[in-house]
């Protein structure tokens, strides 16, 4: 079985910051906006290097989205930065009308997504943002798994023309994808080959899926792990090809099972090739305060949960 090495844990938000720094040097049309969270979003470097292209809007996210939409008129490529909750639910109608419906090239970059932001608790832990964003026509939705991939996705987004949502997180997590990867929007990445079960994971759950696959391998179960970094447009082909081989699926995400990756997968399967599926995600609940690890354990979002779901879904074949 192919294995992966953690080259040193880093936060995915720092990957975004590094990507933005590079874009500052390579693309003069890239501008950045932030709503009083420069440090949390790791936008300090871009601000220092390009003060004329950096806009501090204060604690005013709705205004930030509108400003970004306006800046695209004249050819700028705005990257907005705030927490995932304030990047989506807070400003949904602004995104819907001024960005998505108007077809504006705004990149909505969202840190502190999901439970792993930890102690701040449920007011800040959005578990509904993938659903909110994927429902918007013409919106691209990306949830990267580690530092390297987040950096690559940030850079790739500047070349992609159209509204996009990039979701990443707060804690340090294993960094295991290649530093020089070519990030292809909408193209799933197969990480291990398997025949018994397909594990479709996104974001922080991708590493957990690899850990699960290792344990399953020791138990004689062969798991095919696929990194679904782009939830929309979804790589239907990769999913269907894998399930044709394995006959069952586990989806895994740091998000509500309602409205998340799992439901998108279920739609593809039921349309083309129905197969048993188990959903690793939060079960229609808000989060709470706690450490990142405690929360992922309590809400069943780790390797252990993926192993259990895999064993269960195989029995349902």
Ligand X SMILES: Cc1ncc(C[n+]2csc(CCOP(=O)(O)OP(=O)(O)O)c2C)c(N)n1
Binding site for another protein (CB under 8 A): 34, 36-40, 56-63, 85-86, 90, 118-124, 286, 288-291, 294-295, 298
Binding partner of residue 92 among another protein, ligand X, none, CB under 5 to 8 Å per kind? none
Task: Work out how close the CB of 33 gets to ligand X at its nearest, in angstroms, rounded to a whole number.
Answer: 13
φ/ψ (deg, to 5) at 211: -60, -40
68's CB contacts (< 8 A; 6+ apart) are 33, 78, 80, 99, 104, 106
Q: How far is the CB of 60 from ligand X (least distance, A)?
A: 8
The partner in contact with residue 38, picked from another protein, ligand X, none with C-beta cut-offs of 5 to 8 angstroms by kind, is another protein
3-class SS of residue 111: strand
CA distance 218 to 116: 28
Catalytic site includes residue 278: no
* Separation between Cα atoms, residue 131 and residue 126, nearest integer Å: 11
Q: Which of another protein, ligand X, none interacts with 70 (beta carbon under 5 to 8 A by kind)?
A: none
- Is 63 or 222 the residue whose CB approaches ligand X more closely? 63
Closest CB to ligand X among residues 82, 202: 82
How many other C-beta atoms are found inside a 10 Å radius of the C-beta of residue 266? 17
Closest CB 67 distance from ligand X, rounded Å: 15
Shortest Å distance, C-beta 41 to another protein: 10
Kindly tell me which of 36 and 138 has the beta carbon lying closer to another protein.
36
**74 vs 266: CA distance, rounded Å:** 41
Closest CA to 133 of 96, 81, 83, 181: 96
Which residue of the chain is nearest ligand X when measured via CB?
36
Of the listed 22, 28, 52, 61, which one is catalytic? 61
- Partner in contact with 258, chosen from ligand X, another protein, none, beta carbon below 5 to 8 Å by kind: none
Closer to another protein by CB, 271 or 285: give it: 285
The DSSP string of 231-242 is EES--HHHHHHH
Q: Tell the burial category of 8 from Cβ atoms under 10 Å away from its Cβ (0-12, 13-18, 19+).
A: exposed
CB 34 to ligand X: min, Å: 10
Q: Which does 236 bind (CB under 5 to 8 A by kind): ligand X, another protein, none?
A: none
Closest to another protein by CB, 121 vs 276, is: 121
Tell which residue, 61, 54, 63, has the closest CA to residue 32: 54
Output the CA torsion sign for 73, 78, 84, 85.
negative
Q: How far is the CB of 68 from ligand X (least distance, A)?
A: 16
- Comparison of 82 and 230: residue with beta carbon closer to ligand X: 82
Is-contact 295 116, C-beta < 8 A? Answer: yes
Report the distance separating Cα 57 and Cα 295, nearest Å: 32
- In the numeric block, which tokens belong to residue 5? 């090495």
Q: Binding partner of residue 60 among another protein, ligand X, none, CB under 5 to 8 Å per kind?
A: another protein
Binding-site ranges for ligand X (CB under 6 A)? 36-37, 59, 86, 90
Provide the annotated active-site residues: 61
């Amino acid at each position: 079985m192919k294995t992966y090495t953690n080259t040193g844990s880093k936060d995915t938000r720092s990957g975004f910051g590094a990507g933005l720094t590079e874009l500052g040097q390579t693309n003069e049309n890239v501008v950045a906006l932030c709503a009083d969270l420069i440090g949390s979003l790791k936008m300090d470097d871009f601000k220092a290097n390009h003060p004329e292209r950096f806009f501090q809007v204060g604690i005013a996210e709705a205004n930030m989205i509108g400003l970004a939409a306006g800046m695209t008129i004249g050819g700028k490529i705005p990257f907005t930065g705030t927490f995932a909750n304030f990047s989506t639910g807070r400003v949904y109608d602004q995104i819907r009308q001024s960005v998505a419906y108007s077809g504006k090239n705004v990149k909505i970059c969202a840190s502190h997504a999901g439970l792993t932001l930890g102690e701040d608790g449920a007011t800040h832990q959005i578990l509904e943002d993938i659903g909110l964003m994927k429902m918007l026509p013409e919106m691209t939705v990306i949830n990267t798994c580690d530092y390297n991939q987040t950096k690559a996705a940030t850079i790739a987004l500047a070349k992609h023309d159209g509204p996009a949502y990039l979701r990443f997180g707060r804690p340090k997590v294993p960094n295991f994808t290649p530093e020089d990867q070519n990030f292809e929007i909408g193209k799933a990445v197969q990480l291990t080959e398997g025949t018994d079960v397909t594990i479709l994971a996104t974001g922080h759950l991708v590493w957990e899926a690899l850990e699960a696959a290792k344990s399953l391998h020791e138990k004689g179960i062969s798991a095919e792990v696929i990194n679904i970094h782009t939830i929309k447009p979804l790589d239907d082909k990769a999913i269907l090809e894998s399930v044709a081989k394995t006959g069952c699926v586990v989806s895994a995400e740091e998000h509500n099972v309602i409205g998340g990756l799992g439901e998108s997968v279920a739609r593809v399967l039921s349309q083309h090739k129905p197969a048993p599926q188990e959903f690793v995600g939060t079960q229609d609940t808000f989060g709470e305060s706690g450490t990142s690890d405690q929360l992922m354990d309590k809400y069943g979002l780790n390797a252990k949960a993926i192993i259990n779901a895999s064993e269960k879904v195989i029995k349902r074949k």
